[in-house]
Structures are given as structure tokens and as C-alpha cells.
Amino acid sequence: MTGLFVTQKDLQKNIKFNEKKIWWKNFKHSIRELIKCRTAFIGTIIVLSFILVAVIAPVIAPHDPLKASIIKRFIPPFWIEGGSTTYFFGTDEIGRDIFSRIIYGARVSLLVGLITVSISGVLGTVLGSIAGYYGGRFDAILSRIADLLLSFPDLIFAIFLMAITGPGFFNLILILCFKSWVNFFRLSRGEMISEKTKEYIEAAQALGESDVQIIFKEILPNIIHSLLVLATLRVGYFIILEASLSFLGLGIQPPTPAWGSMINSGRAFMLTSWWISTMPGIALLVLVLSINLLGEGLRDILDPRLKLE
Amino acid sequence: MKSTKILERILIAIPTMLIIAILIFVLMRIMPGDPVDKMMGKGGNINIEEVQALEREFHLDLPISAQLKIFLSGIFHGDLGMSFQERRPVWELIAERIPPTLELALCALLFSLIISIPIGIISAVKQNSLIDRLGMAFAFLGISTPAFWLGIVLIIIFSVKLSIFPVYGRIAYVYKPIHITGMYVLDSILSGNWPALKDSIMHLVLPSVSLGAALAAVTTRILRSSMLEVLRADYVTLARTKGLSEYMVITKHALRNALIPTVTVVGLQVGMLLGGNMIIETIFGWPGLGRLVVTSIFNRDFPVVQGAVMFYALIYVAANLIVDIIYTYLNPKISL
């Protein structure tokens, strides 16, 4: 900076610096709000601990999740007569430790949920932003496809495609993404349409920013919060969907421990050994519940318009 | 809603359904697994002439484009084709499975409304009271519980441990009522067969609860939040200052408007109740449409899958349309 003149570069630098500061301030504010909102905080803690457990599963699992043993079949959980703390939640129909299998199963659930949401979120947001910003034929065609995809029940759609591709981890993710980008598409498209008529867009256009810059640098930061909330809630949804598919034998294949297939395998023994189905279900419930708590907490903080009082 | 508008919506739905039909048709045929293999079973000793005869019978020897032509011309004549597995018309198979699915879906809907409407209203009127907090906690639990696991836990508790409800099926064989609508509850009432009525209701309780729990949770939350919003509106204050009783204010003025968002959610979820319940049907041995679709996909029974998926799309379109019609009834200001 020389003398009285402020160059455009300086101005931009200054704006950038301020933007960063504001962003950081917002971020700190959100974290503080999250801690203040007790339920959301609990949700966050539980979700984080599930992630930790999944990452360090080999360290904390007391037994090999795949090791079967004929003599150790149907051992009940430790609080029931005949059970012991060696097998915390008991053993299943071929003598594997349920607790260890639940720990390893968290890996599958979280991986499927997170990867699916990342892929479909990015895809849906990019397509939705472009469709919403430009409108026209591109928008019309994509919206039509979105309507078409939405007219199938999720589960039947997934079962149908799984039957075509065959089961497996990557097929599963591919198929879940195939339909789920639509939700992100619709949300970002709608937000984009309402956002693009605002004044700051006109200002950006006057400054000579390109369309790509306007979409991704101007508008997207303003709508990202609602997308983030949707993404969080969708993680829980996908975890349930994956479990449902594994339950039907179409998702993750045995012997890889997945909660859905564990619940299914216990179904044949629910008259005598109820814990085989019940325990992985509780893990599933707690994880999804915490994700939902986190998601709704985030929504209350980031997107108060949608707040459910 | 004007009848021309309704007609227009139906006309728009037709090309959508056609695209769906063609898509499913093509996808089914690129699926690995040969339907004739599935028809013959795995008994070995397969006669090549028999295989060819079967292929000819179901037009599987023709190229895909020719098969598609036969399929489409069939649709326009109201013919969905023959099931490969059962050798019966597809529409007959689907028609057989609709009453059980519909019965279950209606009961689940009924259960969810009985639970959600009172709790939703009370929670909003007495905001932050104990009932409100408990109701919301349960609603939250409801949306996070996987339906299939809930079903299994309910069976373990109420059928296995307490032996109150039966584990499996729609009705004990001895009670089976005469066929009128195919919905056993209705049939047994119509024919005055009270033991059958009792038995079929007992069979319905657990699946309806497992299926309806999530819907009940969603409805409670939506109803509560829209009630809260409406109760703060000016016209409700006006109604109060006019000296109307609180009961009148809530039922006549607030509820009607609070129901609008609720109807949307419930309406769209009914489509899901009909379409997404194959897991519940599997767990409870319920011979409904969802199970038919799943087994047909595994058996590569192309015509049945095509027919059923088109039926689902039809339900979805119909549910949307009905939601819109109820909308205009609840709020005449909205015109479509």
C-alpha cells in the first residue's frame, strides 16, 4: 500500500481476511451452541465414540469377530445366568462373540453411511446448483429424472438393483448413491433458485465474476448449512437402509460382520436366544438416534427457519 | 381442485409410468440369471427341447426389442403378461396380494393416527409440559428405530415371552373367513364371523405397530410444530378474544390449518407404507405385495416385477394426487 491509494488487490485481500475471520467466528459460535444444546452435544459425543470404536476396532474387540466355536454357542449376555463377562453380549449361533462383532459391524455401517452421503451429496449439490442457477432444458430433464426416481420406494429400488449387480460393498454404495443424490439435488436446486435473485448476486455479476464463481463461491456458502443438515440426517437413514438390505441378505455378505445380517441370523433363534438379534439392533438404534440428535441440533443452530420448536 | 386439473395430472402421469415400465423391462433383461433356469429348478436332467419350448411360450427366444413390443401392446390392452413361475396372469397375482398389503398399511396408518393426533395436539397446547417432553422423546425414538428390528423385538417380548400375540401369518387356518374383499378383518365383520375377527386383529397388532411406529413419530412431530405455529397466529388470538372456548379455538380454528402440512406428510408416507413394507411382511410372514416383488426379483420372474413396480408407481402418483385434493379442501385459498 503506497500513500493514499488502496489497490484492488489490497481490497480483495482485506475482504478475504474478513471472510475468514467471519467464518471462524461463525464456526466457533456454532460449536458453542452445539455444546449448549445438551441433546445435540450428547449425540455428537456418541457419534464420535462410535467412529473411534470403528477405527480402533482391532484394539478394543475382546475376541476375533469371525472365530466360531461349537462348544461356545448360544452363551447369553453377562447379566443372565450362564453368561460371563468374557462374552459381554453373549455368543451367536456358531459361537462368535457378539460384542466383538458389533464393534466390527460399526465399521460397515459408518463407512456405508459416510461414503454414500459424501458421494451423493456432492453429486446432488453440484447438479442441483447448476440446474437451479441456469434453469432451462438441463434443469427440466434432471428434474424429470428426479421425479421418476422418487416414484420408487427406496428399498424396492435398492433390492432391484442389487439383484442386477449382485451383492457387495461397492455395489451397495453405488446403488444407494444412484437414487439418493435426488434429495440433495432438490434441496440445492430450490435454494439456488430463491438465492439467485438476491442483490448480492447482481453485485457479483457487476463485479464481473464468472458463473462458476457465483455458484460455488457466492451462493453455495449461503446454502451449505441446510445441505449439511440434510447430509447428517441422511447418514442415519443410509445406515438403516444398509442394515435393511443386509438383513435381506443383499447387502454386506457374511462372514463380514454387519448389524443387519446379524439381526437376520438371530431371527431363527429368537425363541431361545433373543440376544443374537436384539444386541446389534440396540447398537443400530443408538447410533442412528445419536446421528439424528446431532442432525437436528445442527439444524436448530444453522437453519433456525426449519426448527421444530 | 377443478376436474380438468385432475385429468391433466393423470395424463402427465401416463408417460412417466411408461418410461418406468420400459426402464424396468430393459433392466430386468440385463440382469444376470436366466428365468428359464429358475423355472426348471436345479434338478439336473434338463431337456433342451423343454427349455426351448418354455422360451417360446414366454417369448424369451425373441430379441429384446420384439419382447418389449409384445409387452407394451399388452399394457395397452390391460394385459400385464403371465408369471413365469406360477403360469398365471400377473394382474391376478398382484390383485391377490393387494388386500393383505392394504389391510396392513391401513391398520398401521390407523395406529399411527390414533397415537399421533392426540399427542401432537396436547404437546403443542401444553408446550414444555411433561406430556410434551415424553411425547417428543418417544417421537424421536420412533424415527430412529429401524422397523424390522422393532418387529423382531416385539415378537420376542409379546409373542415369545408373554405369548399374547401370534408370531406369524395373517390368521389361524381354522378361522379363515369366506372371501369377500380379501381383507380378513372386513370379511369377518361382513360375514359375522367373530372368532375370525378376533384372530385376524390379534395377528395384525404387532406388524401394524412395527410398521406404523415411524409414521406415528413423524406425524406427531409435524402436527405439534404446525400447531405451535398456528396457535400464535392472529386469527387464533382473535378467536380467543371473541370469547370462544379453548376447545373450539383448538379444534375449529387451529387444528384445521395445522393439518395441512400434516396431511402432506401422511399422504406421502402412505405410499411408503404400501411400498416399503416388504421387510415387515417378511418378518411376520405376511403374504403381501412386497414379498411377492422380492421373491419375483430373485426368481427372475420378469412380468411380475414389471407389473408390481408399475403398480407402485401408480400408488405414488395417486397418493400425490389425493394429497393435493385434500389440500384444496383444507385450504380453499390454494388452487392447483
pLDDT above 80 (res A119):
yes
Q: Which DSSP string do the residues of A182-249 spell out, in sequence order?
A: HHHHHHHHHHHHHHTTSHHHHHHHHTT--HHHIIIIIIHHHHHHHHHHHHHHHHHHHHHHHHHHHHTT
* Spatial contact of B108 and B211, defined as CB atoms under 8 Å apart: yes
pLDDT above 90 (res A282):
yes
Contact B282 A248 (CB under 8 A): yes
pLDDT above 90 (res A309):
no
pLDDT above 80 (res A305):
no
pLDDT at position B161, please? 86
Tens digit of pLDDT for each residue in A91-103? 888 888 889 999 9
Q: Which residue has the higher pLDDT, B139 or B272?
A: B139
**CB-count burial class (<10 Å; 0-12, 13-18, 19+) for A150:** middle
Task: Tell me how far apart the terminal alpha carbons of chain B are, to the nearest angstrom.
Answer: 6
* Spatial contact of B280 and B104, defined as CB atoms under 8 Å apart: yes
Cα B44 to chain centroid, rounded? 40
Average pLDDT over residues A178-197: 88
Torsion angle defined by CA atoms of residues A152, A156, A162 and A165, in that order, rounded to the nearest 10 degrees: -40
Average pLDDT over residues A289-300: 87
Q: Quick one: pLDDT band at residue A70, thresholds 50, 70, 90?
A: confident
pLDDT at position A17, please? 66
Locate A245 and state its grid cell: 438390505
Tens digit of pLDDT for each residue in B224-239? 888 888 888 788 888 8
Q: Quick one: pLDDT band at residue B276, thresholds 50, 70, 90?
A: low
A304 touches chain B (CB under 8 A): no
- Rounded CA separation B106/B278 (Å): 15
pLDDT at position A1, please? 44
CA distances from B206 to A194, B165, B202 (A): 45, 7, 8
- Rounded CA separation B306/B293 (Å): 9
Q: Which residue has the higher pLDDT, A181 or B256?
A: A181
CA distances from A272 to A86, A279, B253, B280 (A): 21, 14, 54, 21
pLDDT at position A271, please? 80
Q: Quick one: pLDDT band at residue A113, thresholds 50, 70, 90?
A: very high
Lowest model confidence (mean pLDDT) among A116-120, A300-304, B48-52: A300-304
* Spatial contact of A1 and A10, defined as CB atoms under 8 Å apart: yes
pLDDT above 50 (res B313):
yes
pLDDT above 80 (res A11):
no
pLDDT at position B265, please? 78
- Rounded CA separation B209/B112 (Å): 8
pLDDT at position B41, please? 65
Minimal Cα distance from A285: which residue of B? B145
Q: Quick one: pLDDT band at residue B336, thresholds 50, 70, 90?
A: very low
pLDDT above 70 (res A306):
no
B214 HSE (CA, 13 A, CB side): 25
Please provide the average confidence, as pLDDT, over all residues in chain A.
84
* Spatial contact of A62 and A99, defined as CB atoms under 8 Å apart: yes
**Which residues in B lie closer than 8 A to residue A161 (C-beta atoms)?**
27
From the list B149, B250, B158, the residue with the least C-alpha distance to B203 is B158
pLDDT at position B195, please? 84
Tens digit of pLDDT for each residue in A225-255? 888 888 998 999 999 999 988 888 888 887 8
Tens digit of pLDDT for each residue in B53-100? 777 777 777 777 888 888 888 877 777 788 887 788 888 888 888 888
**Which residues in B lie closer than 8 A to residue A281 (C-beta atoms)?**
146, 149, 152-153
* Spatial contact of A285 and B146, defined as CB atoms under 8 Å apart: yes
Contact B313 A267 (CB under 8 A): no
Over the Cα atoms of chain A, what is R_g? 24
Contact B283 A270 (CB under 8 A): no
From the list B124, B118, B119, the residue with the least C-alpha distance to B233 is B124
Average pLDDT over residues B201-230: 89
pLDDT at position B111, please? 93
Can you list the alpha helix ranges (DSSP code H) found in chain A?
A: 8-36, 38-55, 57-60, 98-134, 136-150, 154-165, 169-195, 199-206, 211-213, 220-247, 259-267, 275-302
Locate A263 and state its grid cell: 439381526
CB < 8 Å from B in window 233-292 of A: 236, 240, 243-244, 247-248, 263, 266-267, 270-271, 274, 277-278, 281, 284-285, 288-289, 292
**Which residues in A lie closer than 8 A to residue B27 (C-beta atoms)?**
160-161, 164
From the list A204, A245, A240, the residue with the least C-alpha distance to A222 is A204
pLDDT at position B45, please? 63
Residue A262: what are its φ and ψ, rounded to 5°? -65, -45
